[in-house]
């Protein structure tokens, strides 16, 4: 009788076929890298048949979910433009619309990258001519995606909505068109870069913001990189400390905000960080180079990696100068570039407002 009851109970809680699902970065209104092979991936029941059909493809692509319930296909994209539609079918059906082909970039770093267009706090007081910039930000072919601020003990396969940080609201992790409604609390440096690209290239631009103010390069470096550098204390923190989504622990911002994006094809990365490492400037060149190589290894190709020199400011010592030297030395890595900012900053404001020039 007991055995019979347990059997009935197990049947009652046994899962039904799980719906096929996608990571948050794959959604309507996204930009896919033009003239490239991009990955479409997700999860389903083990062994489930998944069919991927794009309106630009000659035929649908079929795949079975593996033993972990994961599936992935490679899809070729065409010239810049759109809109396109994408359908993923299994026991359920996901239909994505308004997809553009263009140039896709990730923006990352600390506060000068995260700083939004408008004032949201005492730390982020807005950019130069913020009101006019927001009012003029009607660019339907620039698409925005914000990864949530989320620190993870383990490398994640999907981004999280994250937490509010320095007045910037939690991310909704949804692609949206750039407009006066969607741009105010988005990364200003990322927006101005995207606007410049859009004006010059006349192509759609996909903007993925994965930045967090006050963070060190150690937090953005994979654990394997910390191990290779011999950073024992930092590696111990990364591995052993309890999971806390709001703490800037070594490797954990990479785990929660960059690793989940590794399958998404990008044109390159723009980085704006260094202030939090100024007191350890003698270690920065090796650390930064290791971080860049770790990201490229995770994505599987050597994308361009551009970075902004830290802004001039009335620091109390010469550490910032040494940090800038370390940034310059990082240019020894292939496909890197540095924007010099020494002539455009504000000595009394570590978050200069003229992000348009940067």
Output the pLDDT for position 214: 95
Residues 6+ apart with CB under 8 A from 338: 306, 307, 308, 309, 327, 328, 330, 331
CATH topology assigned to domain 101-339: Rossmann fold (3.40.50)
d(CA 91, CA 18): 8
Residue closest to 320 by CA, chosen among 287, 353, 346, 282: 282
Position 286 pLDDT exceeds 90? yes
- Coil vs helix vs strand at 165: strand
Instruction: Give the residue range(s) of CATH 2.60.40.10 domains in the chain.
Output: 18-99
CATH topology assigned to domain 18-99: Immunoglobulin-like (2.60.40)
Position 3 pLDDT exceeds 70? no
Residue-wise pLDDT for 136-193, tens only, equals 999 999 999 999 999 999 999 999 999 998 999 999 999 999 999 999 999 999 999 9
Residue-wise pLDDT for 329-355, tens only, equals 999 999 999 999 988 877 777 788 899
Instruction: Give the residue range(s) of CATH 3.40.50.1110 domains in the chain.
Output: 101-339
- Reported in sequence order, the residue ranges of the chain that DSSP labels E, i.e. its strands, are 31-33, 37-43, 49-54, 61-64, 70-76, 81-89, 93-109, 139-146, 176-178, 205-211, 268-272, 305-308, 336-339
Pull the structure tokens for residue 332: 């020894």
């Amino acid at each position: 009788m007991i055995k019979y009851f347990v059997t009935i109970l197990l049947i009652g809680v046994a899962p039904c076929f799980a719906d096929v699902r996608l990571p948050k970065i794959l959604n309507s209104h996204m930009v896919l890298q033009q003239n490239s092979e991009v990955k479409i991936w997700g999860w389903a029941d083990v062994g489930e048949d998944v069919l991927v059909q794009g309106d630009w493809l000659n035929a649908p692509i079929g795949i079975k979910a593996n033993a972990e319930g994961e599936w992935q296909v490679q899809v070729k994209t065409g010239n810049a433009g759109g809109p396109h539609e994408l359908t993923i079918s299994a026991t359920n059906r996901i239909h994505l619309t308004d997809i553009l082909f263009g140039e896709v970039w990730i923006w990352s770093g600390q506060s000068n990258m995260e700083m939004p267009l408008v004032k949201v706090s005492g730390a982020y007081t807005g950019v130069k001519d913020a009101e006019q910039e927001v009012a003029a930000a009607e660019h339907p072919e620039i698409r925005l995606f914000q990864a949530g601020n989320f620190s993870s003990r383990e490398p994640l396969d999907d981004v999280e909505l994250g937490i509010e940080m320095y007045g910037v609201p939690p991310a909704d992790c949804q692609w949206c068109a750039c407009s006066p409604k969607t741009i105010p609390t988005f990364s200003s440096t990322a927006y101005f870069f995207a606007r410049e690209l859009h004006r010059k290239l006349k192509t759609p631009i996909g903007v993925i913001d994965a930045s967090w103010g006050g963070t060190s390069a150690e937090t953005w470096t994979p654990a394997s990189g910390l191990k290779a550098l011999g950073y024992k204390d930092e590696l111990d923190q990364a591995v052993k400390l309890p999971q806390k989504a709001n703490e800037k622990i070594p490797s954990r911002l990479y785990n929660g905000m960059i690793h989940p994006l590794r399958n998404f094809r990008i044109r390159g990365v723009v980085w704006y960080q260094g202030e939090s490492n100024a007191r350890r400037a003698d270690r920065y060149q090796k650390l930064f180079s290791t971080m860049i190589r770790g990201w490229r290894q995770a994505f599987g190709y050597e994308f361009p990696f551009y970075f902004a020199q830290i802004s001039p400011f009335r620091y109390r010592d010469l550490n910032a100068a040494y940090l800038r030297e370390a940034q310059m030395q990082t240019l020894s890595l292939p496909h890197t570039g540095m924007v010099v900012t020494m002539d455009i900053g504000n000595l009394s404001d570590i978050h200069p407002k003229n992000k348009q020039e940067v």
